Amino acid sequence: MRHDKHGIRRIDLAEMQLASSETARVINRDIVLELIRASQPISRADLARRSGLGRSTISQIVEQLIGENWVREGAMGSLPRGRRPTMVGLNEDLVAIAVDIHPKQASVALVDLNGRLLSRSLAPLTSDPADSMRLITDCMHRMHRTAPRKSIKGIGISLPGRVNPATQRLIFAPNLKWPEFDIKKMVETRMGLPVVIENDATACLLAELTFSRMDGIRDAVLVAVAEGVGTCVLANGQLVVGHNGMAGEFGHITVDPNGPRCGCGKNGCWEVFGSCRAALRYYRELRPKGPVMAFQELLNLAEEGDPAAAQALATQAMWIGRGLRMLIASVSPSTILIAGDLTSAWHRFGPVIEKEVRDVTLAGDPPLIRPTHEGEIARLRGAAALVFQRGANRTTSAPAIANATKSA
Ligand SMILES: [Zn+2]
């Protein structure tokens, strides 16, 4: 089993679970799957060398992964002495339906095991969750019909809210303004496929861990900036879930009690200063008669040289940086990942955010701050990662991937 080099191994008798040979088998299988993902196409001999597992164990695991459709045999490799091993890689015909929900619309996409988007379309949403999920499932059915040869593993849904990990019911969604609702049950019934729902920031971090590889990074925070500000914390190599799955709601910590009203009902939360909605508000304050716009239009205006748009984005960037201070002080990440549409204008945001953080670093190097894949793509890949993680039958949550190759 895994040893935590930074922590005490604590045996909690309330959560006692003995390691069985089955546990070891599942962990080894996960490690082999991740080695294939990282180094495909790869031969069985190289998998044995890289993992330290015996040749016969590797062959058994690879056969199992092929049988379960995760992996496929492909081209022949070449060796100097004429032997030609069969290479294996991920099965690109295995896909997930990924859904990214925003207050007014949802993106639906087919994403393959390598994190590639194969198709994508938009569904408008209403203020009623049942209506909205009907529109989304109609969109899924249409998309499925366009790709009849793909095998769909499941459906991953990323949304700006919190899902109780025990019940998988939506329990907190201040920007969607949806009442408590069983999305999972409705979509499973309509689609006949397993459904996993997760907070958008968590899904984005999972996408980075799965598809971009963060081997060796044990302490990171992902900040998802959209209509609100969501965060997900990776501490000591584990995703922090918290009581009721509510850990990481830094976006709803008050930074100015006299600030504007937040969707959560309080005043002056971090997200009313650092979100894309806040940037639009800053712009309206500077240009009261300016057109009411979407955030993307604000980005375009700034690029066209509009000084008010540039100023509004700079103010948003400053507030994102200021909010990161509380994150840095509380969990001390080595890496901070920022996700959202603003990453396409990183030349504006990056320097301002870094300056705000640099000024308050207490000791040591400041954390590395970098953007994730552009905007919605990160969330859609995250929604797909939810399916592939759970589907891979992991015994531990996502960070196992980041650490798996080390414990091999
Ligand atoms: Zn709030």
pLDDT digits (tens, 9 = 90+) for 136-179: 999 999 999 998 889 999 999 999 888 888 888 888 888 888 88
> Which residues partner with 98 through β-bridges?
109, 156
Question: Ligand 1 centroid vs 158 CA: distance in angstroms?
Answer: 19
93-100 mean pLDDT: 96
Helices vs. strands in the chain: H and E counts, helices first: 13, 15
Report which listed range, 24-28, 131-135, 214-218, 271-275, is most confident: 271-275
What pLDDT does residue 33 have?
93
Residue 85 clears pLDDT 60, i.e. is over it = yes
256-262 mean pLDDT: 95
pLDDT band at 405 (very low <50, low <70, confident <90, very high): very low
pLDDT band at 109 (very low <50, low <70, confident <90, very high): very high
Question: Ligand 1 centroid vs 317 CA: distance in angstroms?
Answer: 18
Residue 341 parent element (H or E)? none
Question: Ligand 1 centroid vs 261 CA: distance in angstroms?
Answer: 8
**Do residues 339 and 379 touch, judged by C-beta distance below 8 A?**
yes
- Computed over every residue of the chain, the mean pLDDT equals 87
* Closest of 316, 182, 161 to residue 249, by C-alpha: 161
pTM of the full structure: 0.85
Measured CA to CA, the distance from residue 7 to residue 21 in angstroms comes to 25
Residue 55 parent element (H or E)? helix 55-67
Alpha helices in 95-192 (DSSP H): 129-146, 183-191
Percent of the chain clearing pLDDT 70 (strictly above):
90
Between 343 and 174, the higher pLDDT residue: 343
**Position of tokens 């060398």?**
49
**Do residues 337 and 204 touch, judged by C-beta distance below 8 A?**
yes
What pLDDT does residue 2 have?
47
350-372 mean pLDDT: 87
Percent of the chain clearing pLDDT 90 (strictly above):
63
What pLDDT does residue 168 have?
80
> Which residues partner with 110 through β-bridges?
97, 119
Question: Ligand 1 centroid vs 198 CA: distance in angstroms?
Answer: 19
Question: Ligand 1 centroid vs 37 CA: distance in angstroms?
Answer: 39
Question: Ligand 1 centroid vs 323 CA: distance in angstroms?
Answer: 13
Measured CA to CA, the distance from residue 109 to residue 337 in angstroms comes to 23
Question: Ligand 1 centroid vs 197 CA: distance in angstroms?
Answer: 22
Question: Ligand 1 centroid vs 273 CA: distance in angstroms?
Answer: 10
Question: Ligand 1 centroid vs 243 CA: distance in angstroms?
Answer: 18
Measured CA to CA, the distance from residue 295 to residue 276 in angstroms comes to 6
**Position of tokens 């939360």?**
269
**Do residues 100 and 201 touch, judged by C-beta distance below 8 A?**
no
| Number of Cβ within a 10 Å radius of residue 86 | 13
What pLDDT does residue 235 have?
93
What pLDDT does residue 230 have?
94
What pLDDT does residue 400 have?
35
219-227 mean pLDDT: 95
What DSSP line would sit under 281-322, residue for residue?
A: HHHHHH-TTSPP--HHHHHHHHHTT-HHHHHHHHHHHHHHHH
Question: Ligand 1 centroid vs 132 CA: distance in angstroms?
Answer: 24
Q: Which of 27-31, 311-315, 344-348, 402-406 has the lowest mean pLDDT?
A: 402-406
Question: Ligand 1 centroid vs 161 CA: distance in angstroms?
Answer: 12
The torsion angles phi and psi of 395, rounded to 5 degrees, stand at -90, -20
**Do residues 210 and 98 touch, judged by C-beta distance below 8 A?**
no
Residue 17 clears pLDDT 90, i.e. is over it = no
| Tokens, residue 352 | 């301002």
What pLDDT does residue 397 have?
36
What pLDDT does residue 80 have?
64
Measured N-to-C along each axis, helices 200-207 and 375-391 cross at an angle, to the nearest 10 degrees, of 80
Question: Ligand 1 centroid vs 175 CA: distance in angstroms?
Answer: 9
At residue 389, the 3 state secondary structure works out as helix
Q: Which of 91-100, 122-131, 341-350 has the lowest mean pLDDT?
A: 122-131
- Lay out the sheet containing 151-159: strands in order across: 117-124, 105-112, 94-101, 151-159, 195-199
Question: Ligand 1 centroid vs 398 CA: distance in angstroms?
Answer: 28
What pLDDT does residue 175 have?
82
What pLDDT does residue 127 have?
85
**Do residues 372 and 337 touch, judged by C-beta distance below 8 A?**
yes
pLDDT band at 391 (very low <50, low <70, confident <90, very high): low
What pLDDT does residue 103 have?
85
Question: Ligand 1 centroid vs 254 CA: distance in angstroms?
Answer: 7
Measured CA to CA, the distance from residue 286 to residue 197 in angstroms comes to 39
Residue 74 clears pLDDT 70, i.e. is over it = yes
pLDDT band at 292 (very low <50, low <70, confident <90, very high): low
Question: Ligand 1 centroid vs 164 CA: distance in angstroms?
Answer: 19
Residue 403 clears pLDDT 60, i.e. is over it = no
Question: Ligand 1 centroid vs 153 CA: distance in angstroms?
Answer: 35
Question: Ligand 1 centroid vs 374 CA: distance in angstroms?
Answer: 25
**Do residues 324 and 284 touch, judged by C-beta distance below 8 A?**
no
Question: Ligand 1 centroid vs 406 CA: distance in angstroms?
Answer: 39
Residue 256 clears pLDDT 50, i.e. is over it = yes
Residue 401 clears pLDDT 60, i.e. is over it = no
pLDDT band at 311 (very low <50, low <70, confident <90, very high): very high
